[in-house]
Amino acid sequence: NAGVTQTPKFQVLKTGQSMTLQCAQDMNHEYMSWYRQDPGMGLRLIHYSVGAGITDQGEVPNGYNVSRSTTEDFPLRLLSAAPSQTSVYFCASSYWGRGQETQYFGPGTRLLVL
Amino acid sequence: AQTVTQSQPEMSVQEAETVTLSCTYDTSESNYYLFWYKQPPSRQMILVIRQEAYKQQNATENRFSVNFQKAAKSFSLKISDSQLGDTAMYFCAFMDSNYQLIWGAGTKLIIKP
């Protein structure tokens, strides 16, 4: 049981480049989410999903796309990276509804956009 | 909108001392969850303690305990017998009825030898 895994751990991009941050979980959790963490701020929700084929926007969705084709995977796509997207990104998963109060976090991906 | 406020950006105490981290929140809901998470330099987000709003009894986990004051919307974390390994960022978080987490800005805690 690997829990929540994220790849890559660290990435440097140039402005305008695209990339996908990978997130996978092996706990059969319905709920998955992406957060970004910036200095001096708490985590902010980007997008979330309550099951395969279902996604919704969080607090800061602009510049990011997500899809959920399987229960296990929830990739986050940056279509045209901007310096403002320099941040640490966390993926989290949990059961949906009762039990969702326990969220499991991945180790994070540090992204630097030049 | 719900908000979570941590008024102490940084705190520093000697090893073995007791330290209390403050957290206040704003909500109109009556049933919700509150959390304290620890983030060491490894950046891994680790759940420290959880409190359900409908429970009056304060949650405890070994050296960690909370003082939950529902009427005052306050949720402080007390760390007893602090250890060097407690050095980390500590985040207070609120989970609303839609199961979304709202986070405070964090408190950097330094335990000095």
Q: Give residue-wise pLDDT tens across range B16-43.
A: 999 999 999 999 988 899 999 999 988 8
From chain A, the residues in CB contact with B103 under 8 A are 42-44
pLDDT value of residue B36:
97
pLDDT value of residue A72:
97
CB contact under 8 A, B93 and A42: yes
Interface of B with A (CB under 8 A): 4, 9, 33, 42-45, 47, 50, 52, 91, 93, 95, 99-106
Rounded to an integer, what distance in angstroms lies between the CA atom of residue B81 and that of residue A18?
48
Most confident range (mean pLDDT) of A41-50, A90-99, B44-53, B81-90 is B81-90
Instruction: Answer yes or no: are the C-beta atoms of A106 and A5 closer than 8 Å.
Output: yes
CB contact under 8 A, B99 and A97: yes
Q: Give residue-wise pLDDT tens across range B61-98.
A: 999 999 999 999 999 999 999 999 999 999 999 998 77
pLDDT value of residue B69:
95
Smallest Cβ–Cβ distance between A42 and the set B33, B43, B104 belongs to B104
* For range A35-48, the mean pLDDT: 91
